[in-house]
Amino acid sequence: MEAAGHKPVDPILVEVIGNRLQTVCREMLVSLIRAAFSTNIKERYDCGTGVFDIDGDQVALAAYPPLHMGGMRGIVRLLRAEYPPEEIRPGDMFITNDPYVGVSTHLPDPVLVAPVFFSDRLAGFVASVAHHADIGGRVPGGQAPDSRSIFEEGFRIPLVRLFADHKPVPDIHKILRTNVRNPDEREMDLRAQFAANFVGIRGYQEVCQRYGDEVVNGAGRAWVDYSEARLRDKLRQLPDIVCSHEERVENDLDDKPVTFRVTVQSKDGLLHADFEGTSRAFEGAKNIPLSATVATVWMVVKSMLDPQIPASEGAFRPLRVVAPPGTIVNPVPPSAVGERALSCQVLADVVMGAMSKLVPERALAECGPHHGINISGINPRTGRFFANHESFAGGMGARRTKDGVSACRVHIAGSANLPVEPLEAELPILIRRYDLRRDSGGPGRFRGGLGLRRDIEVRADEVRVTLRSERQMIPAFGIGGGAAGATGEFILNPDTDRETRLPIFVSNRRFARGDVISVRTPGGGGYGNPRERPRELVAQDVRSGYVSPAAARDIYGA
């Protein structure tokens, strides 16, 4: 096996070193999760790690949300463009969270990158990214659907040196601490990223110690080239036809939905994805930075063609993404981008709809995206300010031969549902109800995954809450005769005489002790005619509480 323009490397050694670097990446991720202080990182795993070769190509990735890969890909090239090699030293780490330089995908996701030295020379790089519960801005958490510019969303950090000689740079840390609402927790989470990178440096050096840094980099290049060749081979097997798909997407600040549109074509081992026809950028915060758009296309292509392709830079090379500037999928400064993950869920459905015409056997009905909450205030148990970021999974769309997965973080955002116990232990919150929403999965021969319901009681005198959603007006549609899943909703004080349906978003609204906020996420679409669903599966759904007896009779004819 030969990396382009370099000496050939034994293919078995390429496999060994490529997988060893992937293991280093996983060790980094575990270290980050175990060292973190905020529940969003240590319990929901909203973070990622990467290993890069000396050229700046990402060789290995470990991330629960695939969106984080888009947030790290360009970090080394940015570092090398802004800092001459002689200014990069052992013990340095650099930070940025700016989505408009091709790194990170929104401000709460700072990326921390570090050089790896071996035998007194630069051998590679490692990086970590994590979603911090607050990054400043006009609302706690920095994510408000009605933010109209990135300047409202938080503290925007250019690429700067955060650690030098393995120690914090005091002036930079002072600036960071001054601009966030819970500085101690932010400091500790940054140190967790630092620790993860240190684990990566040590692991990379151990691989170099065994094989030599030149061999490691040669194997890394060949590993990246292998990913590229493997995906190109899959693309050459597809028909050379032009396929388009579009979808309406909700606009938080306007009752008029806007449009995602994509045209795809597989030609000569390349996948062309053109977003011409997509609407102009939102006035609010649901715009998608270009790096996140590319990551979404990559995730769909990889999952539909070959899920086992190593997640390296090579798997991006066959993609040719055209995203007109100033549109939702490629906003220009100072457009707000804090809610890009919600839009990415629908964008993935759109890309998958177009790709399904190339690989119909891998088609997936549309999915129910997550709903999110940022809650903050004074914790009466500690007297200290808290800010918590959380999101709740919807339902995956049904597949050609299987039901959709219920309560599943779909597509590009893959972090976990937060367990009740750590939430109640750390915050003035009580979970009154947490279950699947019956009849929320789209009916079909194969049923869409169910959304969930989570009722949250406020146990502080006053808190501020921001609620975020997608598919509360436009459902996840089924395919092949399958029906749409249920839409999501926010309900205040459910099952009481004070029950009220809240808008599709809430921005920094005050709630009082005893208020209950019911978050109900959308279900996935169904696949195929519901009347063709086997009776034993319908009966099992009724027994499990997934489908009501009335729906079994009226919709499935059982």
Report the pLDDT value the prediction gives residue 255, as an integer from 0 to 100.
Answer: 79
Q: Which of 481, 355, 336 is nearest to 411 (CA)?
A: 355
Domain boundaries, the chain: 11-228, 364-558
pLDDT digits (tens, 9 = 90+) for 330-345: 999 999 999 999 999 9
Q: Tell me the one-letter amino acid at 317.
A: R
Residue ranges with strand state E in 319-400 = 319-322, 371-379, 384-392
Token reading at 98 = 């700016």
| Cβ contact 284:147 at 8 Å | yes
| pTM (two decimals) | 0.95
**Residue 125 — φ and ψ, nearest 5°?**
-145, 155
Question: Contacts by 489-498 with C-beta closer than 8 Å and gap 24+?
Answer: 489/520, 490/371, 490/517, 490/518, 490/519, 490/520, 491/517, 491/518, 491/520, 492/516, 492/517, 492/518, 494/455, 494/518
Q: Can you tell me the distance from the alpha carbon of 368 to that of 525, in angstroms, rounded to the nearest whole number?
A: 8
Q: Which residues of the chain carry a pLDDT beneath 50? A: none
Cβ atoms < 10 Å from Cβ of 189: 25
- Give pLDDT, residue 539: 97
**Cα separation, 252 vs 510, whole angstroms:** 20
Residue 355's pLDDT is 97
φ/ψ (deg, to 5) at 467: -115, 140
pLDDT tens per residue across span 20-29: 999 999 999 9
Residue type, 524: G
Tell me the C-alpha distance between 554 and 59, whole Å. Answer: 53
Q: What is the residue type of 194?
A: F
HSE-CB of 182 using CA atoms within 13 angstroms: 25
pLDDT at 66: 85
pLDDT at 2: 58
Nearest to 216 by CA among 5, 19, 4: 19
Task: Give the type of residue at 370.
Answer: H
Residues whose CB is less than 8 angstroms from the CB of residue 338 and which lie 6 or more positions away in sequence, other chains included: 106, 107, 108, 142, 143, 144, 145, 147, 153, 154, 285
